[in-house]
């Protein structure tokens, strides 16, 4: 065999062709009695339907959780989940948290250190070579 | 590599005009004794498209025999689906698809138009191992989808890279639409699997009979491996095998009925079935756009697929075949010859033309890299303007068609 081929799998580039929102499911838990979920209840009553209709790609579940603080849990495509407790928050605060979960990738929080660019092709110009390109004359 | 007749594939999958009569002849034979099975079929039949001829080629004669008995079957035993316990159904009832939040979310996540029915989307999620009934599982749709995926990917690769060696073509196919790639695509679409298939669970979950951990794969999925001393030639792979050039052929979907399968197998069949159902419901242009957005947009480095054994010999054979002067390697520049990290830049020249260039820590390494670069430059030639054959399908005006380049093939050493 003069030439053989290496088997690989093509890599996804989300957003190059189609864009898939990483947030897959949103669970909202509330309590009817406790005061800590007053803002959450107001959000569910007045704002959630608008959010749901503008984001049809997210599956939304609302369920009571009596005598507990209200929680929003986002389930992501990469099979991770992210939970935020929204106790004692006003409507605006709950709305911000929902938007935060919607816009998140679901990745773990990572410290951005030395390599700030993460890409399939990190440098547009390729690896620098001392033997090529125009000569610099001083 | 396989030739398919798409139009024929499509008509087989369309719904029969009057689905009053039970479709499976074996059901008709037994229906006088087992009424439960029969009314299940009749009541569930009113939903999604049915595969009348997809699995029944060889038993058409039996159908004619039993037709009379099917017609005089008393309709009084037919009961409403409301009274059927959901647990008795092998897969969710199609009417449940309209209430599933998961399915609606999946449809808009994939940016499918609302005219694509949720019932069909639910059907694509049912693997034959969960529901053996060919009118309710995705077996027939996934056959059509596999052929379409193979067709579109093959034409894309062959038209854009006309000089690719055959083994690289197979590897590129595998990278775009191979089993692993399709399973990855399904997980990136956010498909969740049901723990156990059944009529009572959410139709937005992937339904299949799970292979228990530690159990062996079914023999059908393992495939037949050729004995090691058989020399499986490239010609044999092109003519006899599937689009990936693998010696093991993909099992027929209906053969996997009731057999426990790994989740990858079920996820692949879902992706294929989705392509097939898109083709039937939305037509060719939207299917091609979906394919372009979700499959061709994936990143694949074609030049990373090559694995040369003797690039210098291949290159000299190539030059001899094409009538170029014999390739000569010349040192372009070097640094640190006597140090720990020498770098040599070697170019391969044919006469005055530089064919390729490579850097290495020894002269020989740099020469071999240069030869490999020259070969890749030849094989990865890409025409500027390409019209794929499927772009002219169904069009009367053929003036847009430009013939594609066909190369004489790779170097044979």
Closest listed residue to residue B330, CA positions, set B312, B347, B342: B347
To the nearest whole Å, the CA of B72 is away from the closest chain A CA by 47
Instruction: Determine what percent of chain B is predicted with pLDDT higher than 90.
Output: 62
- Window A:63-102, CB contacts with B under 8 Å: 77
Closest listed residue to residue B242, CA positions, set B182, B303, B169: B169
> Does A127 reach chain B within 8 Å, measured CB to CB?
no
Q: Which stretch of A74-78, B58-62, B175-179 has the lowest confidence by average pLDDT?
A: B58-62
Per-residue pLDDT, B5? 54
Per-residue pLDDT, B184? 97
Q: Are residues B26 and B66 in contact, defined by beta-carbon separation less than 8 angstroms?
A: no
Let me know if residue A29 belongs to a domain. Answer: yes
Q: Are residues B27 and B133 in contact, defined by beta-carbon separation less than 8 angstroms?
A: no
> Does B111 reach chain A within 8 Å, measured CB to CB?
yes
Minimum CA–CA partner of B178 in chain A:
A9
CATH topology of domain B91-302: Ribonuclease iii, N-terminal Endonuclease Domain; Chain A (1.10.1520)
CA distances from B14 to B11, B41, B42, B140, B318 (A): 5, 18, 18, 10, 50
The residue behind tokens 């990469």 is: A78
Phi and psi at residue A81, to the nearest 5°: -130, 160
Per-residue pLDDT, A115? 73
Q: Collapsing DSSP states into helix, strand and coil, what is residue B307?
A: strand
Give the pLDDT band (50/70/90) at residue A77.
Answer: very high
> Does B309 reach chain A within 8 Å, measured CB to CB?
yes
CA distance B29 to A91: 64
Residues in chain A within 8 Å Cβ distance of B271: none
Average pLDDT over residues B346-365: 96
Partner residues linked to A28 by β-bridges: A62, A72
Q: What is the pLDDT of residues B291-300, one digit of tens each?
A: 999 999 999 9
Question: Any idea what the CATH number is for the domain that residue A49 is in?
Answer: 3.40.30.10
Position with higher pLDDT, B45 vs B215: B215
Instruction: Determine what percent of chain B is predicted with pLDDT higher than 70.
Output: 79
> Does B141 reach chain A within 8 Å, measured CB to CB?
no
B51 CB contacts (<8 Å, ≥6 apart)?
B12, B13, B134, B135, B139, B140
Q: What is the pLDDT of residues B378-404, one digit of tens each?
A: 999 999 989 999 998 888 888 888 999
The encoded tokens of residue B15 equal 């719904």
User: Structural domain boundaries of chain B?
Assistant: 91-302, 306-379
CA distance A58 to A52: 7
Minimum CA–CA partner of A13 in chain B:
B298
Per-residue pLDDT, B64? 42
A4: nearest CB among B108, B110, B167: B167
Phi and psi at residue A24, to the nearest 5°: -100, -40
Per-residue pLDDT, B217? 86
Instruction: Determine what percent of chain A is predicted with pLDDT higher than 70.
Output: 91
Q: Are residues A26 and B101 in contact, defined by beta-carbon separation less than 8 angstroms?
A: no
Count how many domains chain A has.
1
Let me know if residue A72 belongs to a domain. Answer: yes
Which of A5, A17, A130 should we substitute to test contact with B (largest number of B Cβ atoms within 10 Å)?
Answer: A5
Q: Are residues B134 and B49 in contact, defined by beta-carbon separation less than 8 angstroms?
A: no
Kindly report the number of other CB atoms within 10 A of residue B314's CB atom. 24
The encoded tokens of residue B223 equal 């495939």
Phi and psi at residue B342, to the nearest 5°: -75, 150
Q: Are residues B326 and B316 in contact, defined by beta-carbon separation less than 8 angstroms?
A: yes
> Does B300 reach chain A within 8 Å, measured CB to CB?
yes
Give the pLDDT band (50/70/90) at residue A126.
Answer: low
Is the confidence at residue B13, as pLDDT, over 60? Answer: no
Q: What is the pLDDT of residues B136-193, one digit of tens each?
A: 999 999 999 999 999 999 999 999 999 999 999 999 999 999 999 999 999 999 999 9
B96 CB contacts (<8 Å, ≥6 apart)?
B122, B203
**Residue-wise burial string across B351-369, b where 16 or more C-beta atoms lie within 10 A, e elsewhere:** eeeebbbbbbeeeeebbbb
Position with higher pLDDT, A138 vs B147: B147
Average pLDDT over chain A reads 90
Is the confidence at residue B54, as pLDDT, over 70? Answer: no
Is the confidence at residue A94, as pLDDT, over 90? Answer: yes
Per-residue pLDDT, B20? 46
Average pLDDT over residues A105-120: 82
Is the confidence at residue B69, as pLDDT, over 60? Answer: no
To the nearest whole Å, the CA of A82 is away from the closest chain B CA by 16
Closest listed residue to residue B323, CA positions, set B357, B295, B353: B353
Kindly report the number of other CB atoms within 10 A of residue B324's CB atom. 15
Give the pLDDT band (50/70/90) at residue B413.
Answer: confident
Per-residue pLDDT, A127? 67
Per-residue pLDDT, B81? 54
Q: What is the pLDDT of residues B202-235, one digit of tens each?
A: 999 999 999 988 888 888 887 777 777 777 788 8
Q: Collapsing DSSP states into helix, strand and coil, what is residue B332?
A: strand
Q: What is the pLDDT of residues B77-123, one digit of tens each?
A: 444 555 678 888 999 999 999 999 999 999 999 999 999 999 999 99
Cβ separation B296–A17 shorter than 8 A: yes
In which domain, by residue range, is A62 found? 23-103
CA distance B267 to B127: 9
CA distance B403 to B108: 38
CA distance B379 to B304: 12
Position with higher pLDDT, A99 vs B87: A99
Q: What is the pLDDT of residues B300-334, one digit of tens each?
A: 999 999 999 999 999 999 999 999 999 999 999 99
Is the confidence at residue B18, as pLDDT, over 90? Answer: no
Is the confidence at residue B252, as pLDDT, over 60? Answer: yes
Strands A59-64 and A23-30, how do they pair?
parallel
Which of B264, B297, B409 should we substitute to test contact with A (largest number of A Cβ atoms within 10 Å)?
Answer: B297
CA distance B53 to B55: 6
Let me know if residue A10 belongs to a domain. Answer: no
Q: Find out if CATH 3.40.50.620 is the number for domain B306-379.
A: no
To the nearest whole Å, the CA of B57 is away from the closest chain A CA by 36
Give the pLDDT band (50/70/90) at residue B39.
Answer: very low
CA distances from B260 to A3, B128, B215, B256 (A): 38, 10, 9, 8
Minimum CA–CA partner of A78 in chain B:
B188
């Amino acid at each position: 065999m003069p030439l053989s081929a290496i088997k690989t799998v093509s890599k996804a580039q989300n957003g190059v062709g189609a864009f898939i929102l990483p947030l897959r499911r949103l669970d909202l838990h509330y309590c009817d009695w406790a005061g800590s979920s007053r803002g959450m209840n107001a959000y569910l009553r007045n704002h959630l339907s608008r959010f749901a209709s503008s984001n049809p790609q997210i599956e939304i579940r609302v369920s009571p959780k009596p005598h507990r603080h209200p929680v929003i849990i986002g389930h992501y495509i990469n099979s991770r989940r992210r939970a935020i407790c929204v106790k004692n928050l006003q409507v605006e605060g709950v709305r911000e948290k929902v938007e935060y979960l919607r816009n998140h990738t679901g990745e773990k929080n990572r410290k951005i250190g030395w390599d700030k660019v993460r890409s399939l092709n990190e440098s547009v110009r390729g690896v620098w070579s001392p033997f090529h390109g125009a000569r610099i004359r001083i | 590599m396989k030739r398919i007749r798409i139009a024929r594939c499509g008509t087989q999958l369309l719904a029969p005009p009057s689905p009053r009569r039970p479709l499976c002849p074996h059901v008709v034979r037994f229906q006088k004794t087992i009424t439960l099975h029969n009314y299940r079929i009749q009541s569930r039949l009113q939903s999604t498209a049915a595969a009348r001829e997809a699995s029944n080629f060889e038993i058409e004669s039996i159908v004619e025999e039993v037709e009379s008995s099917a017609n005089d079957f008393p309709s009084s035993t037919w009961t409403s689906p409301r009274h059927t316990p959901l647990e008795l159904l092998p897969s969710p009832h199609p009417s449940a698809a309209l209430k599933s939040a998961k399915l609606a979310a999946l449809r808009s996540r994939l940016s499918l138009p609302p005219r694509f029915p949720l019932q069909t989307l639910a059907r694509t999620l049912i693997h034959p191992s969960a529901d053996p009934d060919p009118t309710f599982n995705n077996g027939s749709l996934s056959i059509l989808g596999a052929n379409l995926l193979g067709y579109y990917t093959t034409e894309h690769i062959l038209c854009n890279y006309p000089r690719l060696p055959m083994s690289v073509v197979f590897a590129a196919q595998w990278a775009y639409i191979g089993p692993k790639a399709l399973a990855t695509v399904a997980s990136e679409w956010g498909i969740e699997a049901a723990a156990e298939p059944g009529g009572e669970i959410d139709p937005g979950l992937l339904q299949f009979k799970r292979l228990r951990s530690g159990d062996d794969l079914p023999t059908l999925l393992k495939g037949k491996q050729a004995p090691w001393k058989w020399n499986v030639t490239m010609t044999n792979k092109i003519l006899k095998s599937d689009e990936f050039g693998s010696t093991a052929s993909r099992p027929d979907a209906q053969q996997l009925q009731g057999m426990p399968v790994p989740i990858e197998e079920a996820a692949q069949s879902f992706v294929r079935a989705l392509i097939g159902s898109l083709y039937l419901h939305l037509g060719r242009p939207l299917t091609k756009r979906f394919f372009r957005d979700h499959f061709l947009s994936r990143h694949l480095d074609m030049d990373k697929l090559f694995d040369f054994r003797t690039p210098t010999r291949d290159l000299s054979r190539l030059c001899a075949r094409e009538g170029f002067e014999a390739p000569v390697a010349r040192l372009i520049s070097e640094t640190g010859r006597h140090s720990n990290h020498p770098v040599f830049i070697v170019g391969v020249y044919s006469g005055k033309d530089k064919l390729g260039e490579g850097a290495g820590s020894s002269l020989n390494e740099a020469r071999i890299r240069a030869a490999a670069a020259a070969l890749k430059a030849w094989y990865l030639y890409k025409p500027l303007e390409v019209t794929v054959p499927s772009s002219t399908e169904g069009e009367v005006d053929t003036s847009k068609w430009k013939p594609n380049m066909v190369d004489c093939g790779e170097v044979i050493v």
